Amino acid sequence: MIHSDYVHLHVHSQYSLLDGACLISDLINLSQKYKMPALALTDHGNMFGAIEFYSEAMAKGVKPIIGCEVYIAPGSRFEKSSHGIQEASFHLILLAKDEVGYKSLLKLVSLGYLEGFYYRPRIDKELLSQYSKGLIALTSCLQGEIPYLLVKGKYKEAKEVTSYYKDIFGAENFYLELQENLIPEQDIANKGILRLAAELDIPIVATADIHYISKRDAQAHEALLCIQTQTTLGDPNHMRFQTDEFYFKSPDEMKQLFAELPQAISSTLEITEKCNLELEFDKTHLPHFNPPQEKTREEYLRELVEAGLKKCYRVIDETVRNRVEHELKIIKDTGFTSYFLIAWDFIHYAKSKGIPVGPGRGSAAGSVVSYALGITDLDPLKYDLIFERFLNPERVGLPDIDIDFCYERRGEVINYVIEKYSKDNVAQIITFGTMQTRAVIRDVGRVMGLSYGEVDRIAKLVPPDPNITLEEAINGEPELRNLYKKDPKITQLIDTSLSLEGLTRHASTHAAGVVISDEPLTNYIPLFKAGEDQISTGYSMSSLEKIGLLKMDFLGLRTLTVIDETVKIIKRTKGIDIDIENISMDDPKTFALLSHAESLGVFQLESAGMRELLRKLRPNKFEDIVAILALYRPGPIGSGMVDDFIKRKHGLIPIKYDHKLLEPILKETYGIIVYQEQVMRIASDLAGFTMSQADSLRRAMSKKTPEVMEQARTSFIEGATKKGIEKRTAEKVFNLIEYFAGYGFNKSHSTAYALISYRTAYLKANYPVEFMTALLTSERDNIEKVAFYIEETQRIGIKILPPDVNESFAKFTVIGDTVRFGLSAVKNVGQGAIDSIITARSRIGKFKSLYELCEHVDPRLVNRKVLESLIKCGAMDEFGLHRSQLTAILEDCLETASVLHKERQNGQLSFFPEFGAHLKIHSRRHDIPKIAEWPETQLLAYEKEMLGFYITGHPLAKYERLLKTYVTTLIKDLGKKRAEEEVILGGIITKVKFTTTKAKNEKMAIINLEDLSGQSEVLVFPSAYTTTEKFIRKDAIVCIKGKVNLREEKPKLIANNIIPLEELQKKYTQAIIINLTTTGIDEKSLTILKSILESHPGTTPVYLNFKMADGKKVEVSVEEKLKVEPSDELAVEIERLLGGGTVSFKT
């Protein structure tokens, strides 16, 4: 192939965060298009994309040149007092010639973050001279030190710096960089560079400083810079490039620009020939576990496994022995002995420190060695889990052991690993956030200066599918497509968003990933500093796996904390020791709870969809839970597998097997292939595949590569016919596993997580008070979740007691058969204040008054704000005063206590401690103002403010019957309605935002409405706003008529009308129906009824609905003069006379 004679050497990808607007794939594709033999990647200060770039470029026949545009500190990298970014660093392009240069680059980029970070990750000339081997340097753009000095007219200084760099890198590795970008200062720099080149005999090289793909993307790039600097395009001072010349120019364009300097073009090929880095992706760099003295790693692993087997199995029979020997051999042959010892070591540490550890996750649960080592809690032989699904000797790659730990103490385990294997060898893993479809629209809309409401409306026209692209949304949503075509402003918004969609927005630390190496990590990867002390890898998880580093996920799982806390509460309150690892696996109460779908709070089984599945399936064995977790996914649900599974379980469909060998494999799943392991077992038992070959078949089927599939089909049928199975049957079975393979789930993972599900269900079924207490404590920082679980706690008959300064601790606590609210869930009450209250209480006993509490707590921690919050939420109701009275005396309590604290500090109470102060306090305890309690609405509003929800009541409770009459749906059921369906909601307005439309500047409102089932956003557009404005106010109780909007994840309502509750009955009651039975009705009752009706005169007719003794019904209209005005009072009076439920309102 004939190559072009130019190569781009100064290139920024999406990893030049919020500055580079080029996707790596687009850069490589353009290089291919222009037949460029190579391409460099030189992102700002980092190497985030290096491995991705290298792999993709190699795959497409483009030679990758890995580099970086580093930031150079003007002086020492440790000097961090310059003012502004410009003075803090200069730019310099570095390219790796070979492995030595690559390692030099790793060191420099790492140290830029770890030692030199100041606005940017900076290195200095000291580091450059130390790590210059194997590198080629280019002088960079106008922000390079040499061009900068030349533009400033400091030629002498520029010449000195040039000579310095030439000495550091060597004459053959240092190039003076020329650019043509129509910037006047660039012309000055270029002239100076050519003079320096001539005088110092230094080669020149032409670059384009690529920041975006095509010239037309310059406007989108300008928007990207505004996103980075948090300004708008309308701001005259916003950051921008001076011209639109920073795009991927073709070789012909570059040659034309530098026609008079052909050597600047040919230098790019010269540099390309010098750069020959080859990265190895077939090596692993596992850390070495050091066993006790005089033992090899293999001996020590066997010793640990043998000890574990004795604990796990009563009898170590031939099956167990053969499996263990088989696994140990594979582990040894693949070189993963250290891997298992490392996992055993940190899990052993966690368990020894009482840190809850999960029973396993992923395919690791398929290993008997893992089970014996305590890495997992599952017996793979019992559940037919396959080792080769975890570690396949024919597909040697690092096995994947991911561990769940208590989310509160996960950090302790990570710290242990860092201390054991050295902080230089361990780091958490970087992760990148990208500009996804909705987010990019919002970002671009903001920098364009569009109103939040308008941008929000456009963003919400994109379906809430995280995988949808903007182009797909435009094609699939007529309204979005119409706006894009007809509104120029929206066209610009969408076009800019299309250019920026998918770019990397920010770097952060992965929630769970930890990498452990055999040598300091900077020998293999660059490091990145995310925060003050948070050091993470400079490569993503996929890149780390590619270069052979050991990655483990240390996940924080809240459920483990809940289980552990529940067991502790049971021990503390009931004196019962629960061995959660050895509970009965066929507990009737547990399966009754699951069959009735009472699974809120149960791990993985609490969503509405899961509960519906539980209700239909009615699980009665552990294997059913395993299957549920595997089946509850879009594929199996959409294919009809789930319905088929349920019908087969309940005997509604006969279970047939195409061959008798399938029955033992598929019996537990009623003849359906649910798990990947079943595919493997079928291949093994029917076609004679080894388990390694069966795993390879499973992987091939999941990828569905046609050639590979055809080869697999042939191998399967040949193997099956050799075992005496008819070809026709073999083909049918292969077709079956081919169909189900796409839906198959990892049984090892499903079984491990089903165990957590079962344990939580067991605790909820058998110890509901203790379980719900632990669950509420675990969610104490999430107000919505606390409210959700409080509702569930009350629904199952457990009383929730409000916070109490005399009984509450930080966490929720069990008091008899009730749950007492924890103080840490109260707004404004921090841990310091809680500790002070509990310490004082343990010292003097229960507080008898607010005065006494103030007297004994630390006033610096328990200040006015804390005390006000505790009063408002009801935590001091036990003192026997109204909350209004407690608030009224608070100032006096604080002043009196302040005197006491000062006297204590001054030592004035040393002889008769606190006697004088006690006298003062006691003398004032009776000066309580005689004032009424706050109105109920205010009491409840304060509870909501302090706790996030109502605890002693609900403002809607007294209107429940009224709302039931007129409301057509509850907020929690909005999602079940059709889009645009008209409904009536009733509730309390908890939040109001008044705004205006962008188009006509008309007034509108965004309301949060809450009913007894949940809350929803209601949009009141101008057409409805004009007639309903007077009813839109916080804490108003209203009914809202409108249309359901299902465009987002959370359903909303578009309001047509708002009716205050007090007007509801008058407006919407067509008649009042009084239901009576003729048996037992007497004249006196009818006379009293008549007088009740007369005392509520109005215009609404009344009907008496008589039920006769023979069951027939007769409706009688009451005379005209007895028409009434509907009200709750009327209904209450009638029902007091005739019995509850006798009155209904016809709407």
Domain for residue 464, yes or no? no
Q: Are strands 135-138 and 174-178 parallel, antiparallel or unpaired?
A: parallel
Give the orientation angle of helix 676-687 with respect to helix 747-766, to 10 degrees: 130
Of the residues 907, 922, 947, which one is the last residue of a structural domain? Answer: 947
Instruction: Return the C-alpha torsion angle 829, 830, 834, 839, nearest 10.
Output: -140
Question: Over the stretch 97-150, which tens digit does the pLDDT of each residue have?
Answer: 999 999 999 999 999 999 998 888 999 999 999 999 999 999 999 999 999 999
At 1 the pLDDT is: 62
Section 912-939 average pLDDT: 67
At 912 the pLDDT is: 45
Query: For 710, what's the count of Cα atoms within 13 Å in the CB-facing half-sphere?
Result: 2
Does 803 lie in the same domain as 731? Answer: no
Does 191 lie in the same domain as 152? Answer: yes
Domain for residue 100, yes or no? yes
Q: Which residues contact 987 (CB under 8 A, 6 or more apart)?
A: 956, 963, 971, 1009, 1010, 1011, 1012, 1015, 1037, 1038
Query: Residue 910: which CATH number?
Result: 1.10.150
Query: Residue 1113: which CATH number?
Result: 3.40.1350
Tell the residue number behind the tokens 């790039």, with chain if given. Answer: 221
Judged against a pLDDT cut of 70, whether residue 949 lies above it is answered with yes
At 899 the pLDDT is: 86
Q: Are 1018 and 1062 in contact (CB under 8 A)?
A: no
Q: Are 116 and 296 in contact (CB under 8 A)?
A: no
Domain for residue 42, yes or no? no
Number of domains observed in the structure of the chain: 6
Domain for residue 286, yes or no? no
Does 193 lie in the same domain as 79? Answer: yes
DSSP state of 473: H
Domain for residue 54, yes or no? no
Six token digits for residue 714:
């042939």
Does 625 lie in the same domain as 732? Answer: yes
Q: Are 959 and 1127 in contact (CB under 8 A)?
A: no
At 232 the pLDDT is: 87
Domain for residue 503, yes or no? no
Q: Which of 233-242, 337-346, 517-526, 959-968 has the lowest mean pLDDT?
A: 959-968
Which domain range does residue 917 map to? 779-947
Q: Could you give the CA distance from residue 45 to residue 71 in angstroms, rounded to a whole number? A: 6
> Of the candidates 295, 307, 329, 298, which has an alpha carbon nearest to the alpha carbon of residue 373?
307
> Of the candidates 972, 968, 1016, 974, which has an alpha carbon nearest to the alpha carbon of residue 991?
1016
Does 349 lie in the same domain as 379? Answer: yes
Q: Are 47 and 528 in contact (CB under 8 A)?
A: no
- Residue 705 belongs to what H/E stretch? none
At 915 the pLDDT is: 46
- Residues present in the chain in total: 1147
Does 423 lie in the same domain as 413? Answer: yes
At 22 the pLDDT is: 95
* Average pLDDT over all residues of the chain: 90
At 162 the pLDDT is: 97
Judged against a pLDDT cut of 80, whether residue 920 lies above it is answered with no
Judged against a pLDDT cut of 70, whether residue 911 lies above it is answered with no
More confident residue, 773 or 396: 773
Q: Are 519 and 285 in contact (CB under 8 A)?
A: yes
Q: Which of 41-45, 742-746, 749-753, 1090-1094 has the lowest mean pLDDT?
A: 742-746
Q: Which of 178-192, 393-407, 624-638, 973-987 has the lowest mean pLDDT?
A: 393-407
Does 352 lie in the same domain as 262? Answer: no
Six token digits for residue 951:
């605890």
Q: Which residues contact 133 (CB under 8 A, 6 or more apart)?
A: 100, 101, 104
Burial (CB count within 10 angstroms: exposed 0-12, middle 13-18, buried 19+), residue 176:
buried
Does 789 lie in the same domain as 669? Answer: no
Does 381 lie in the same domain as 304? Answer: yes
Question: Over the stretch 659-709, which tens digit does the pLDDT of each residue have?
Answer: 999 999 999 999 999 999 999 999 999 999 999 888 888 888 877 777 778
Query: For 289, what's the count of Cα atoms within 13 Å in the CB-facing half-sphere?
Result: 23
Does 623 lie in the same domain as 533? Answer: no
Query: Residue 197: which CATH number?
Result: 3.20.20.140
Judged against a pLDDT cut of 90, whether residue 574 lies above it is answered with yes
Instruction: Return the C-alpha torsion angle 652, 658, 664, 667, nearest 10.
Output: -20
The SS3 call for residue 782 is coil
Of the residues 947, 974, 1008, which one is the last residue of a structural domain? Answer: 947
Q: Are 66 and 41 in contact (CB under 8 A)?
A: yes
Beta bridge mates, 1115: 1105
Number of neighbouring beta carbons within 10 Å of residue 167? 12
Burial (CB count within 10 angstroms: exposed 0-12, middle 13-18, buried 19+), residue 207:
buried
Q: Which residues contact 652 (CB under 8 A, 6 or more apart)?
A: none
Does 856 lie in the same domain as 785? Answer: yes
What is the distance of C-alpha 875 from the center of its chain?
34
**What percentage of residues in the chain have a pLDDT greater than 90?**
65
Number of neighbouring beta carbons within 10 Å of residue 954? 18
Q: Could you give the CA distance from residue 1020 to residue 453 in angstroms, rounded to a whole number? A: 13
Number of neighbouring beta carbons within 10 Å of residue 293? 5
Q: Could you give the CA distance from residue 547 to residue 407 in angstroms, rounded to a whole number? A: 30
Q: Are 66 and 93 in contact (CB under 8 A)?
A: no
Q: Which residues contact 803 (CB under 8 A, 6 or more apart)?
A: 820, 821, 822, 823, 825, 826, 870, 873, 874, 875, 947
Does 897 lie in the same domain as 841? Answer: yes
Query: Residue 1029: which CATH number?
Result: 2.40.50.140
At 550 the pLDDT is: 87
Burial (CB count within 10 angstroms: exposed 0-12, middle 13-18, buried 19+), residue 615:
middle
* Amino acid letter, 118: Y
Taking CA atoms, 842 is separated from 572, 612, 720, 805, 892, in Å, by 18, 48, 75, 12, 25
Of the residues 523, 558, 593, which one is the last residue of a structural domain? Answer: 558
At 605 the pLDDT is: 96
Domain for residue 1136, yes or no? yes
Q: Are 626 and 754 in contact (CB under 8 A)?
A: yes
> Of the candidates 1132, 1128, 1137, which has an alpha carbon nearest to the alpha carbon of residue 1090?
1137
Give the orientation angle of helix 864-872 with respect to helix 936-947, to 10 degrees: 120
pLDDT confidence bin for 818, thresholds 50/70/90: very high
- Got the DSSP string for 441-468? HHHHHHHTT--HHHHHHHHTTS-S-TT-
Domain for residue 480, yes or no? no
